[in-house]
Structure 1
Amino acid sequence: MARKDRLLRDAERGKFLITIDTEEAFEGVLVEWDDEHVVLAAAYSVGVTGDRLKLDGYQWLPRQRIKYMQAVTT
């Protein structure tokens, strides 16, 4: 099993907006991660205009493609 990053461990169950290298953005609750992926639950695809589209199930994002990972406060 991969060693979990301290920052991700501290952020578990937090809500994040993640932008990947294709400029696509996803918002959701961080529920799991490993050396290769982060997994969001209750996820949305977020458009450039801020439009949100609810995604079914979990969203798996490759860690190598993540450009930004921003905490979302409510």
Structure 2
Amino acid sequence: MSALFNFQSLLLVLLLLICTSAYAHYVFPGIMDRNRDGVFGIFWKCARIGERLSPYVSICCVAMAISMMASS
């Protein structure tokens, strides 16, 4: 089953995208800041979400981990 058709998997993919983009922006800020527009602008926007809403993102990651443990 694709992640697009399973809501929990879609949320997991979005959380991983946000966390990975925030980490990549921390490690390579010049590359991320150059690509604010276009297709790669999605990663820049996800990095901003991860940086500004980090307490909420971390709570969502813990909640997803608990729900994944409970479902398996």
TM bucket normalised to smaller: under 0.3
TM-score with structure 2 setting the length = 0.25
TM-score with structure 1 setting the length = 0.25
- Structure with the higher strand share, 1 or 2: 1
Greater C-alpha Rg: 2
- Structure with the higher helix share, 1 or 2: 2
